């Protein structure tokens, strides 16, 4: 149901003409309260009071236009006190109260406006709305019936009359009013669908179907009405009738893509997925079906692609049809890229994303997807170049700065990495985990620049935003152990990392190395052995650590053996050669 918004705005210099002469009147009141409608009395308005009322009304309008509703309401009340026969002041006060959801007071004021001018349809509309809102449907029906008599062309009044008849459980009468509307204004969707709803409410499915058939007859080129009729029959287990409607659609235009969409939906509801998909393909192959419709349909496949191989294969096939039929639509290529990515066709996904960017480079989400793929491929040179290009177009995107910082980090350009990551942090994010990731990466960069204080600070900030970040807990504890400081703290953090992400070789090695630094060589041996088992004994640092532990436990030959294995894995160590040659540790 719609409520017209009555805008009683007029130029101040014409106010006197609009208001007109105020005459003496006798009127009643809904409340004996100075804040509401004045009590019934006879007032003879002299010229002075008349001018004062006009001035209050003009000032009230001004406040109303300026948006100061409380001031306007008070001035309308002053106008009414001076001129109790001013219907416009009553109505405008009611509108303010209605907007403030003070419906009872609004009803009191608008009822007075209606008493003064019962032929004003604006007054009647608000009056009827408020009556219906408090459940007085019978009186609301009378008001809207009166409005229709006063203004037969007012479609809102007709619809509200029917609406409140239905609310008053007079459904048959409501349908009769809609029939009158239809006879007067012609067949249209709103009327037919309302009648369909009412017939269904009465349990008369055939009558409801008749309304849709009438729409189809009036608009035979619109497949939506066929679809609604099919849905109606299907929801009422009248599948044979639904199939008949579908055959009519296809017979009328076998290549109509929308008809094929309806057919696809029908077979899907029947459980015949193969036929449903064939109809869907016919629709996607048609250039007459707008690309936006196809994109919306295909996007609905995305949530199911990871776990449903059949849906994934179908999405790939439909996506290929989409870009073949609409080769210049950047949205089509971007969506097909998403589908190929989910199907692990990374190279082809990259092709589609780049095609999308070549057609429209204004969508950052597509740039982001390409950067993600470069990161996945560990193609950091290309990631750096692309992130720099994206920053030129999107200087306020924190993800662009993050990827730029991450690429610089991987390329050992640590100062550049810190600058970009710092900018990403400055821009901020509502995602606490992302903020933690940015601080974590900055911590790694500062560590590589040997700025331990800044590195520690960044890791601590990361843990503020994500206390369960096992990666940060591990790195922070490991770097503390290498420096031999705050080892008790390092032990706690390393233990937490292993609790959060058990059986992670790097985290087990860290915990073992912290124990080593604390002098617990037996414990260190146990944890580093776990790490070697989970890493497959191929990590040079872990192998070197194990050799160091064996040496501390008195197994010099075992230590040399593992130092040599570490060297074979090209361990990054300044002392590995000296250890092997001297058969002893060098701190």
**Residue 276 banded pLDDT, cuts 50, 70, 90:** very high
Q: What is the mean pLDDT of residues 508-525?
A: 96
**Residue 537 banded pLDDT, cuts 50, 70, 90:** low
Q: What is the dihedral of CA 539, 540, 545, 551, to 10 degrees?
A: 130
Confidence (pLDDT) at 580: 92
Contact 440, 406 (CB under 8 A): no
Please indicate, yes or no, if residue 246 is contained in any of the structural domains. no
Confidence (pLDDT) at 10: 24
Which among 403, 395, 465 is positioned nearest to 430, based on CA atoms? 465
CA distance 350 to 303: 21
Please indicate, yes or no, if residue 259 is contained in any of the structural domains. no
Report how far apart, in Å, the C-alpha atoms of 325 and of each of 191, 283, 534 are: 37, 11, 50
For 30, the domain range is: 1-134
pLDDT tens track for 482-494: 999 999 999 999 9
Please indicate, yes or no, if residue 106 is contained in any of the structural domains. yes
Tokens 């709103």 appear where? 190
- Give me 533's structure tokens: 């088992």
Q: What is the mean pLDDT of residues 329-348?
A: 96
Please indicate, yes or no, if residue 121 is contained in any of the structural domains. yes
Please indicate, yes or no, if residue 24 is contained in any of the structural domains. yes
Query: Largest Cα–Cα distance in the chain?
Result: 119
Confidence (pLDDT) at 246: 81
Phi, psi of 25 (to 5 degrees): -150, 155
Q: What percent of the chain has pLDDT over 90?
A: 76
Which among 549, 503, 502, 498 is positioned nearest to 523, based on CA atoms? 549
Q: What is the pTM of this model?
A: 0.64
Confidence (pLDDT) at 263: 83
Please indicate, yes or no, if residue 84 is contained in any of the structural domains. yes
Domain count, the chain: 1
Confidence (pLDDT) at 535: 79
Q: What is the mean pLDDT of residues 359-373?
A: 96
Please determine, for residue 6, whether its predicted confidence score (pLDDT) is greater than 50. Answer: no
Which among 61, 114, 56 is positioned nearest to 87, based on CA atoms? 114
Q: Supply the mean pLDDT for the chain.
A: 88
Confidence (pLDDT) at 575: 93
Which among 39, 53, 44 is positioned nearest to 82, based on CA atoms? 53
Please indicate, yes or no, if residue 32 is contained in any of the structural domains. yes
**Residue 26 banded pLDDT, cuts 50, 70, 90:** very low
Please indicate, yes or no, if residue 208 is contained in any of the structural domains. no
pLDDT tens track for 446-471: 999 999 999 999 999 999 999 999 99
Confidence (pLDDT) at 250: 78
Phi, psi of 27 (to 5 degrees): -145, 160
Q: What is the CATH number of the domain that holds 12?
A: 1.25.40.10
pLDDT tens track for 208-266: 999 999 998 888 878 788 888 988 988 898 888 888 888 887 777 777 888 888 888 88
Measured on CA atoms in the order 158, 159, 163, 164, is the torsion positive or negative? negative
């Amino acid at each position: 149901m719609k409520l017209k918004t009555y805008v009683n705005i007029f130029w101040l210099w014409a106010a006197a003409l609009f208001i007109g002469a105020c005459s003496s009147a006798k009127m009643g009141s809904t409340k004996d309260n100075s804040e509401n409608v004045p009590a019934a009395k006879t007032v003879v308005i002299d010229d002075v009071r008349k001018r004062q009322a006009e001035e209050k009304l003009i000032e009230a309008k001004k406040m109303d236009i300026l948006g100061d509703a409380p001031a306007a309401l008070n001035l309308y009340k002053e106008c009414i006190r001076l001129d109790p026969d001013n219907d416009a002041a009553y109505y405008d006060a009611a509108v303010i109260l209605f907007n403030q959801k003070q419906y009872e007071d609004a009803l009191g004021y608008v009822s007075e406006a209606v008493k003064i001018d019962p032929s004003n349809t604006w007054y009647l509309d608000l009056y009827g709305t408020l009556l219906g809102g408090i459940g007085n449907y019978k009186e609301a029906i009378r008001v809207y019936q009166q409005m229709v008599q006063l203004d037969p062309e007012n479609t809102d009044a007709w619809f509200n009359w029917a609406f409140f008849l239905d609310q008053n459980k007079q459904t048959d009468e409501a349908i009769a009013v809609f029939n009158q509307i239809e006879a007067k204004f012609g067949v249209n969707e709103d009327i037919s669908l309302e009648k369909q709803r009412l017939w269904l409410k009465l349990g008369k499915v055939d009558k409801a179907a008749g309304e849709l058939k009438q729409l189809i007859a009036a608009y035979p080129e619109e497949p939506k009405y066929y679809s609604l009729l099919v849905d109606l029959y299907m929801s009422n287990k009248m599948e044979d009738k639904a199939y008949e409607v579908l055959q009519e659609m296809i017979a009328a235009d076998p290549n109509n893509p929308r008809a094929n969409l309806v057919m696809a939906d029908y077979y899907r509801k029947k459980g015949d997925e193969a036929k449903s998909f064939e109809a869907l393909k016919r629709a996607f192959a048609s250039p007459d079906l707008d690309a936006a419709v196809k994109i919306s349909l295909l996007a609905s496949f995305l949530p199911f692609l990871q776990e449903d191989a059949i849906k994934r294969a179908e999405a790939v096939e439909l996506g290929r049809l989409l870009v073949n039929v609409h080769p210049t639509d950047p949205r089509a290529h971007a969506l097909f890229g998403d589908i190929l990515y989910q199907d692990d066709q990374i190279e082809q996904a990259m092709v589609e994303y780049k095609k999308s960017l070549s057609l429209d480079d204004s969508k950052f989400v597509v740039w982001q997807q390409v950067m993600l793929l470069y990161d996945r491929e560990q193609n950091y040179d290309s990631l750096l170049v692309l992130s720099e290009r994206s920053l030129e177009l999107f200087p306020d995107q924190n993800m662009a700065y993050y990827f730029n910082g991450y690429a610089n980090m991987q390329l050992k350009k640590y100062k550049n990495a810190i600058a970009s990551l710092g900018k990403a942090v400055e821009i901020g994010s509502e995602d606490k985990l992302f903020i933690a990731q940015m601080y974590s990466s900055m911590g790694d960069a500062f560590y590589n620049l040997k700025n331990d204080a800044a590195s520690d600070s960044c890791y601590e900030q990361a843990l503020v935003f994500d206390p369960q970040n096992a990666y940060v807990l591990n790195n922070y504890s490991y770097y503390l152990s290498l420096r031999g400081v705050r080892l008790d703290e390092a032990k706690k953090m390393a233990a937490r990392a292993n609790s959060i992400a058990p059986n992670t070789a790097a985290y087990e090695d860290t915990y073992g190395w912290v124990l080593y630094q604390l002098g617990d060589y037996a414990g260190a041996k146990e944890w580093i052995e776990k790490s070697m088992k989970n890493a497959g004994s191929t990590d040079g640092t872990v192998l070197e650590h194990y050799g160091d532990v064996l040496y501390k436990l008195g197994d010099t030959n075992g230590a040399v053996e593992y130092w040599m294995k570490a060297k074979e894995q090209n361990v990054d160590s300044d002392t590995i050669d000296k250890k092997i040659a001297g058969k002893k540790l060098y701190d």
